[in-house]
Structure 1
Amino acid sequence: MIVHIPALLFLQDLMGTYGSADGMASLSVIRVGYGHSIELRLGGKVQLAGVVGVSGNSVELFAQIGLPNVVRLIGQLRAQSELGFEGSDMSFGVSFVLEDDTLTLGISSDGNLKKKHVLQRV
């Protein structure tokens, strides 16, 4: 039986390339099989690269973030337009809020928002 995972359906809507107005941040979401790959560039350097796939009734993001270590983030749909990922081994989070062609990307540490990027679909 095929089960529709709302978080995965959200990622399908998120597919594409996004960029900030100042050109400093860009995000690419590409479909890879039934999952997705995510790449976040800040200042021309890749800051986050990972793959998202289904785990149970939710999604997981296995990502390399700055360091050579791969971290596991568990994702849940927080609202119809917001998908959040939280670290299972560390207090790190990434959230995606999509409204029309505007994507707000939030990066948090220890439960506090550290960076926020507003990106437009390219």
Structure 2
Amino acid sequence: MKERVFEDRHGRKVIVRVNKSNIQIHTEEKKIIDYRFYLDSNEILYYLKEQATRIWKSFHPKEADSLGSDYFEFYDRGTDTNGYLEFHDEALIFESPSEETTLLYQFNKRRMESFIYDMESWVNL
């Protein structure tokens, strides 16, 4: 598993963990439900796109065309709960599936395609 830490201007950190089938975003500690990470630079977005292209050979950013491809919500089997992701005011806003995990969000290929598609539209990627 590949791991990289990013920090915003407020000192908030997210940990991006990449394995063969998904890309996860974590915090450093549990007990965090709502988390806002500011995009001071596009470094994390470049990294996410780079890693997505590396692990999914047929990765192509495209618009969400179904609920399964929309990145707003994901289901976490470990906690049997949903987590959420929004982009607002130059920040990624996460709602963790549970305070018992450090996991904020988990991307599969299709959700990452729609996420990167939107980021390329809204931010200069």
TM-score of the aligned structures, taking structure 1 as reference length: 0.30
Higher helix share: 2
TM-score of the aligned structures, taking structure 2 as reference length: 0.30
